[in-house]
Structure 1
Amino acid sequence: MPWWDLGSLSRLKIFSGGSQPNRMQEVQLGSHTVRSHGVSVARTHMHDWLILMLLVLIEIISLYVIHPFYRYVGKDMMTDLRYPLKSNTVPVWAVPMYAMMLPILIFLVVYFRRRDVYDLHHAVLGLLFSVVITAVITDAIKNAVGRPRPDFFWRCFPDGKDVYDQLGDVICHGDKSIIKEGHKSFPSGHTSWSFAGLGFLSLYLSGKIKVFDRRGHIAKLCIVFFPLLFASLVGISRVDDYWHHWQDVFAGGLLGLMVSTFCYLQFFPPPYHHEGWGPYAYFRVLEESRVGTQAPNPTSIHNDQALEVQVEEQHERRRSNGCLGLSITNDDSSLTLEELESGRR
């Protein structure tokens, strides 16, 4: 089987390195804006937005209506649940700000630079799905497990006087809403939300700045790791505030990363892919437009076939000369790819 086909030859000018391909990318990107294609893209994904709204409704019900499982808490268990009741270092209202609004702001900056409505729409939709799906799963597990928080004692007995029934279970006399919140320790919602939003942003930046382009610019990793570092510090703050056990934070971070990865790969190639800088939809539309503008021409088809044969012969010669592809002859048959494309010898 040949090492490339006519389709890959036609795409080389778009996706390979060099200044001319980059200019072609920018020209194509500038033709797909919110004004020209925004409505059609939104209509195409209307069912996705409807499902997203349904998930938001489920999250609201799970958060405010459904009560968590009130797990048995005996007196001998209170040793690990007597940590002081503190306020949140990271407020609840701040989580959507850095997990959703900050990534969307970065998506907008990229859009105004490249004018690609597919990138903007799919990045926003993927981010929202990542956060909302994570939130639904997190709160569903919270309500099902009902694990007490490390400060449960002071939530249950604000005056410090513990009371138990004949089975040894707690008889709480604190505020009902505070007690209810005290049974939602596993997993950490702050952490899962943080890794869902900032993890998606980290993957997005990895593709945009081409971290895995094999050029050895390891400084790019600092940009990619910064969102993950921030999410990790949020998780650590939950342990420091005695709102969560370390297992809750670990599970929340793992859950957020997994969901964000699945949601990102639904719309974008992996960051290490050579097309990882753009969404699948853009390359699909670009390919369709390329095919639509090229009329079938017998002469051009014959030339493309001849070009393929020449490239295959050159590849065989390079392979026979070693893994580096160094030519040991100076004959006229050693042609570069650029010369083959331009028709020069």
Structure 2
Amino acid sequence: MDDHHGRHYSGHNSYAAGPMDGMTVKVSLVSLIKHHLRDWLWIGVMIALELIMYFIIPPFHRFVNEPMMEDLRYPRKPETVPTWSVGVVAVVLPFLIFVVLFIKNRSIRDFHSAFLGLATAIVITALFTDSIKNLVGMPRPDFFHRCFPDGKAEYTADLERRVICHPGDERAFRDAYKSFPSGHVSWAFAGLGYLSLYFAGKLSLFDRRGYTSRVFWVLLPVLAAGLIGITRVNDYQHRWVDIIAAALLGLFIAYVCYRQLYPSIYAREWAGYPYEYEPQGIFSHGLHGPRAVPMMSSHRPNGHITPLDVGGAAADLETGRH
């Protein structure tokens, strides 16, 4: 049966006790979106701020003079990983994985939580990255060829010997002062780092059962993000400090966003279950509960505590786990 919030209840006693009073809750996508409308609206606001930060606000032009040019004469190279492909790898790929798992498990709540966390991580990372880029205004290693594309250097006649750039490509020159931190890398570690955390939870990586094959799947997205970072150094777009700072920024934001929607990956049997709540009206916070993790069953003989079996398809809809 359905209620006015779009929730469906099944009749058998799938929880031992608690706010659900013995009923399994199947939440509709409409109810989830209504409950998180404030979050989706804030994502829209942050996207607008990011577009302003990227396209309208110019970066700070840090002081560059003739002696400094010795460290800024690296050749210009085509990008090994184009900007558009980072969006595919860091956003589209995780989203498609969430879709595949939704088709398999039929958990609309898990799908919505996963995508909401990913979208939040990506948008916050983009906004933070471009804000820092514009404020720092660090020249890229190939700055010389962006400033003097014809190879003819010009400097002021005073003692400072500042550069007098005559760029041929205004867009490339605008980007010349955006070395720190790397946008490619922060995006990659935000999206793929989030995917690694998602895998770690779903595969119960730290359940102390010793299945080491899971480690490969959890670390594979991080490896891909790291390789993207290496290409940015090899293409002379960034220095190692730009890469390391961007990786730490992306991973930190990914972790914070993941934990808004999922328990710790060290939660053993609870890891990978989206937090429980009852969707409320638009703009409400809902009930995050005393039950932020699935209800506990009795203790196993080995001392482990496990979530109750909520039974069949209803369990998949509620938790996204088998």
The bucket for the TM-score relative to the shorter chain is 0.7 to 0.9
Gaps of 5+ in 2: 1-14, 18-22, 279-287, 306-322
Per-residue deviation, residues 274-326 of structure 1 (Å, max 9, x unmatched): 311210026969969x99xxxxxxxxxxxxxxxx9xx9xxx9xx9xxxxx99x
Task: Report what 1:172 is aligned to.
Answer: 165
Does the CA contact (< 8 Å) of 2:197 and 2:258 recur in 1? Answer: yes
Does the CA contact (< 8 Å) of 1:59 and 1:135 recur in 2? Answer: yes
- 2:138 is the alignment partner of 1:144: no
- 2:29 is the alignment partner of 1:38: yes
Give the direction of change, closer, same or farther, for the CA distance of 1:286–1:38 in structure 2 (3 Å limit).
farther
For 1:243 and 1:127, the matched residues in 2 are separated by: 26
For 1:92 and 1:178, the matched residues in 2 are separated by: 13
- 2:221 is the alignment partner of 1:239: no
In the alignment, residue 226 of structure 1 is paired with which amino acid? L
Higher helix share: 1
Q: After superposing the two structures, state which structure 1 stretch, 108-117 or 56-65, moved more.
A: 108-117
Higher strand share: 2
Pairing of 1:1-345 with structure 2 (within 5 A): 10=16, 32=26, 37-165=28-156, 166=158, 167-175=160-168, 176-273=170-267, 274-281=269-276
Q: After superposing the two structures, state which structure 1 stretch, 239-248 or 102-111, moved more.
A: 102-111
What is the SS of the residue equivalent to 1:280?
A: coil
For 1:144 and 1:103, the matched residues in 2 are separated by: 31
In the alignment, residue 146 of structure 1 is paired with which amino acid? G
Does the CA contact (< 8 Å) of 1:118 and 1:281 recur in 2? Answer: no
In the alignment, residue 104 of structure 1 is paired with which amino acid? F
Per-residue deviation, residues 87-130 of structure 1 (Å, max 9, x unmatched): 11001111111101110111111111221111111110100010
Does the CA contact (< 8 Å) of 1:95 and 1:194 recur in 2? Answer: yes
Does the CA contact (< 8 Å) of 1:147 and 1:186 recur in 2? Answer: yes
Does the CA contact (< 8 Å) of 1:135 and 1:189 recur in 2? Answer: yes
Does the CA contact (< 8 Å) of 1:267 and 1:281 recur in 2? Answer: no
For 1:98 and 1:260, the matched residues in 2 are separated by: 15
For 1:259 and 1:46, the matched residues in 2 are separated by: 21
Task: Give the superposition deviation at 1:189.
Answer: 0.2
Greater relative contact order (CA < 8 Å, ≥ 6 in sequence)? 2
Q: Which structure: larger Rg?
A: 1
In the alignment of these two chains, the number of paired residues is 269
For 1:114 and 1:157, the matched residues in 2 are separated by: 56
In the alignment, residue 177 of structure 1 is paired with which amino acid? R
In the alignment, residue 150 of structure 1 is paired with which amino acid? P
Give the direction of change, closer, same or farther, for the CA distance of 1:286–1:109 in structure 2 (3 Å limit).
farther
Task: Report what 1:23 is aligned to.
Answer: none
Q: CA RMSD in A?
A: 2.7
Amino-acid identity (%): 45
Per-residue deviation, residues 146-177 of structure 1 (Å, max 9, x unmatched): 00000000000111111111231110001322
In the alignment, residue 252 of structure 2 is paired with which amino acid? M
In the alignment, residue 107 of structure 1 is paired with which amino acid? F
In the alignment, residue 45 of structure 1 is paired with which amino acid? H
For 2:77 and 2:84, the matched residues in 1 are separated by: 17
Task: Give the superposition deviation at 1:211.
Answer: 1.0
In the alignment, residue 219 of structure 1 is paired with which amino acid? S
What is the SS of the residue equivalent to 1:255?
A: helix
Does the CA contact (< 8 Å) of 1:99 and 1:194 recur in 2? Answer: yes
Task: Give the superposition deviation at 1:61.
Answer: 0.7
Gaps of 5+ in 1: 1-8, 12-26, 292-307, 319-323, 326-336, 338-345
